[in-house]
């Protein structure tokens, strides 16, 4: 174990969740956080070089992590020249819009013998075209889809309920035969994936390549239905369930999103279309909102902090796919514009914008079906 090292790019809530769980389950594993800004390193040392994790009110800490400062092409600021040793195992948990740039600075340390596990949706095609266009030297890709709501309470402190697992699956970039299922066996998990699968706190599940793609689409639909509404209303997840108007808007966004996802699956994975069950995905939307009802979404946190949001990789992805497929996507276009305006919207204003009837939107109770 001491001969292996897992690098984690991104110290957000998901990166910290996985790092904390790995450290607790595999104390001898070497883990390194890759940082782009020196001030984050300073705050790491000031925090006692530990992650604080609160699970259902129970406080735990983990430490013994290494950090590396790497150069940022955007600012041309080099605070530390990283070692030239290859990176064999890399878990990527950065913001979607920063992923390609971050990986560009590590390209010389990654190769065909490397494995990258992406914790975000919608970035692999961009990374492939802009960073790893040469198939011969491209790392192996794995995807991870987290079904857990994790809230970062401070820079190196996270909180979560412990409910919801993480699905892992190998990603195939080869063209599909759309008439027949891909019977090629998945590549065997390498050490990093085996360690993740052997970490019970993550509630890990190994998926086939086709089913991890469906899981990624499910995650996009869930996030696209929830996150923008929390941003425009400046509300926590649970307030979408408790407010009749917001609940119905969430359902409306879901209906439009899942119709697009169904078309994507029918086109790319027709033999797996039966795996997409609308009501099961809607249940996932409500479950995520319920399990994280006291949390702010990452999109809301970004808006309140004046940071760039990931909406172009969530709702924006659905909009681009709808345009390509000729499917209606008006509601997601509207909500994307609202989020980008950075305004706070009142219920009546949103009601008018979405042309929702008042007698429908202001029912006496919320139908959670």
CATH of the domain at 96: 3.40.50.720
How high is the pLDDT of residue 247? 95
In a domain, 369, yes or no: no
Strands (E), 12-86: 30-35, 51-55, 58-62, 66-69
Q: Which two tokens stand for residue 156?
A: 């190196």
How high is the pLDDT of residue 355? 66
Q: 70 and 180, same structural domain? A: yes
Distance CA 219, CA 213 (A): 10
Q: 153 and 84, same structural domain? A: yes
Q: 57 and 142, same structural domain? A: yes
How high is the pLDDT of residue 361? 45
The enclosing domain of 337 has a CATH number of 1.10.1040.10
Distance CA 281, CA 271 (A): 19
In a domain, 29, yes or no: yes
Q: 189 and 136, same structural domain? A: yes
How high is the pLDDT of residue 183? 47
Whether residue 43 contacts residue 56, with contact meaning beta carbons closer than 8 Å, is answered with no
Q: Which two tokens stand for residue 194?
A: 């085996």
In a domain, 233, yes or no: yes
How high is the pLDDT of residue 84? 65
How high is the pLDDT of residue 353? 81
Strands (E), the chain: 5-9, 30-35, 51-55, 58-62, 66-69, 89-92, 115-118, 140-146, 150-154, 157-160, 166-170, 204-207
Q: 262 and 149, same structural domain? A: no
Q: 201 and 244, same structural domain? A: no
How high is the pLDDT of residue 37? 85
Distance CA 129, CA 319 (A): 21
DSSP state, residue 48? T
Q: 300 and 230, same structural domain? A: yes
Q: Which residues of the chain have pLDDT under 50?
A: 73-81, 177-179, 183, 357-368
Q: 356 and 292, same structural domain? A: yes
Q: 181 and 326, same structural domain? A: no
In a domain, 368, yes or no: no
Domain with 309 in it: 213-361
In a domain, 367, yes or no: no
Q: 145 and 115, same structural domain? A: yes
Helices of type H across 85-235: 99-104, 124-130, 191-197, 209-233
How high is the pLDDT of residue 165? 93
Among residues 172, 207, 242, which one ends one of the domains? 207
Length of the chain: 369
The candidate with the shortest Cα–Cα distance to 114, out of 1, 188, 6, is 6
Count of the separate structural domains present in the chain? 2
Distance CA 43, CA 125 (A): 33
Backbone angles phi, psi at 68, to 5 degrees: -135, 135
Q: Which residue has the tokens 């970035």?
A: 123
Q: 139 and 109, same structural domain? A: yes
Backbone angles phi, psi at 72, to 5 degrees: -115, 110
How high is the pLDDT of residue 78? 38
Among residues 207, 233, 262, which one ends one of the domains? 207
Whether residue 162 contacts residue 55, with contact meaning beta carbons closer than 8 Å, is answered with yes
């Amino acid at each position: 174990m001491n001969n292996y090292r897992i690098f984690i790019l991104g110290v957000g809530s998901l990166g910290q969740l996985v790092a904390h769980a790995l450290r607790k389950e595999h104390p001898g594993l070497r883990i390194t956080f890759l940082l782009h800004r020196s001030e984050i390193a300073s705050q790491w040392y000031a925090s006692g070089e530990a992650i604080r994790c609160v699970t259902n009110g129970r406080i735990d800490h983990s430490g013994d992590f290494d950090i590396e400062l790497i150069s940022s092409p955007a600012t041309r600021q080099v605070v530390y020249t990283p070692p030239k040793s290859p990176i064999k195992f890399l878990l990527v948990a950065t913001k979607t819009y920063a992923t390609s740039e971050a990986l560009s600075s590590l390209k010389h340390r990654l190769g065909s013998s490397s494995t990258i596990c992406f914790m975000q949706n919608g970035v692999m095609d961009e990374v492939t075209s802009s960073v790893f266009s040469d198939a011969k030297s491209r790392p192996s890709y794995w995807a991870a889809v987290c079904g857990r709501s994790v809230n970062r309470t401070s820079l190196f402190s996270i909180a979560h309920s412990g409910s919801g697992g993480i699905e892992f699956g190998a990603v195939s970039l080869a063209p599909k035969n759309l008439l027949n299922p891909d019977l090629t066996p998945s590549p065997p998990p390498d050490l990093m994936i085996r360690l993740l699968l052997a970490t019970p706190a993550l509630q890990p599940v190994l998926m086939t390549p086709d089913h991890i793609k469906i899981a990624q689409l499910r995650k996009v639909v869930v996030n696209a239905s929830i996150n923008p509404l929390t941003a425009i209303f400046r509300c926590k997840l649970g307030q979408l369930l408790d407010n009749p108007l917001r609940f119905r808007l969430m359902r409306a966004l879901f209906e439009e999103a899942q119709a697009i996802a169904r078309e994507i699956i029918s086109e790319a994975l027709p033999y797996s279309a039966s795996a997409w069950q609308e009501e099961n995905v809607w249940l996932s939307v409500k479950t995520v909102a319920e399990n994280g009802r006291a949390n702010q979404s990452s999109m809301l946190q970004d808006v309140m902090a004046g940071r760039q949001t990931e909406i172009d990789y969530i709702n924006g992805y659905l909009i681009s796919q709808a345009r390509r497929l000729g499917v209606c996507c008006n509601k997601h276009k509207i909500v994307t514009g609202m989020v980008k305006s950075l305004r706070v919207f009142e219920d009546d204003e949103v009601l008018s914008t979405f042309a929702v009837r008042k007698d429908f939107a202001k029912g006496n109770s919320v139908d959670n079906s």
